Each structure stands twice: as C-alpha cells, then as structure tokens.
Amino acid sequence: MAEISYYTKEGLQKLKQELNELKTKGRADIAKQIAEARDKGDLSENAEYDAAKDAQGHLEAKIAMLEQAVGNAREIDESSIDTSKVSILSKVKIKNLKMGVTVTYTLVAEEEADLKAGKISVKSPIGKGLLGKKEGEVAEIETPGGLMSFEVLEIGL
C-alpha cells in the first residue's frame, strides 16, 4: 500500500504541472533524440542511440514515480488545521535551547520542502520531532548532529 502524502494547493498543482510537462515535452524531446540517433546508422555501435534510450528509461521512471505521487496526494484544507499543536502546514516558531537561536519553519510534505523558504519536511528529524507538540513544550530531537532541544514558542498557519 502506497503512502498518502499531503500537499498545499500550490504544491499539488506544481507536482501535476511537472508530470504533464514530462509526459508531453519530455517524451517528445526524447523521441526526437532517438530518431536523430537512429538516422546516424548502425545502432549496435551508436553511443548516441544508447544514451537516448537510457534517457528515455530515466524519464519513464520519473513519470511513473510522479504518477504514483499524484495518485497518493491529498490536498490539505487549511481551515481544518488544529493550531493548538504542531501538524503539517503549521508555521512553528522554535528556539534552539542550546544555542539560543529562534527560527520559524512551516512543516510541509517531503516534496515541498525548501529550507531557504523556511519549509521543512514532516519526515525530517526536526519535523518528526515537532509533530504533536504544543506551545511551551520542549522537543528533544535526535539529529545527525546529535541530540537537540527545541522549545515551541508559537504555532500558526
């Protein structure tokens, strides 16, 4: 059974657009490369043909992966999110208790994560550790850098 992933409206739309582009433009580009390589003669010793066929295999694998992701995607209704505890789409202000640094993250689906935009995956160590926490609670999170403690200061949307 495939795992359900939750997306914002924008995130799901972006996923669908990428899938559509690969199915149309991506497949057309690969077909053109294969045709051009085939026109160059003997296929048994044609490196361009082999490379184009290999690229076609990678493209089809990515399309299959995206089709599965879209099929298992659910759009999140922001109005139904409980802001009394940390959940997906929560905007969380946390304080690193060891360093005294305060940061704000929005917890999103793995595919939407973008650290530069302040979006972390609910499947990341910090995302997992924050899920279900309430304001004022401290999350002890095992990260690749060791055990870290974060205090949840604010939860919003």
pLDDT per residue, tens digit, the chain (157 aa), is: 467 777 778 888 888 999 999 999 999 999 999 888 888 777 777 788 888 889 999 999 999 988 988 888 888 776 667 778 888 888 899 999 888 899 999 998 887 888 898 999 888 999 999 998 999 999 998 888 889 999 999 998 8
Helix (H, G, I), strand (E, B) or coil at 89: coil
Rounded Cα distance between 90 and 92, Å, is 6
Paired residues of 96 in beta bridges: 101, 150
| Type of residue found at 111 | E
Nearest 5°: the CA angle 113, 115, 116 is 125
The pLDDT assigned to 80 comes to: 67
**Tokens 């530069």 appear where?**
116
**53, 38 in Cβ contact below 8 A?**
no
Give the predicted TM-score (pTM) of the model: 0.64
129 within 8 A of 122, measured Cβ to Cβ: no
Domain 78-156 fold is Chitinase A; domain 3 (3.10.50)
Q: DSSP 3-state assignment of 1? A: coil
Please report, for the chain, the start and end positions of each structural domain, with discontinuous segments joined by +.
5-75, 78-156
DSSP bridge pairs for 102 = 95
The pLDDT assigned to 60 comes to 93
* CATH hierarchy code of domain 5-75: 1.10.287.180
Please give the pLDDT value at position 2. 61
- Residue 115 dihedral angles phi and psi, to the nearest 5°: -60, -35
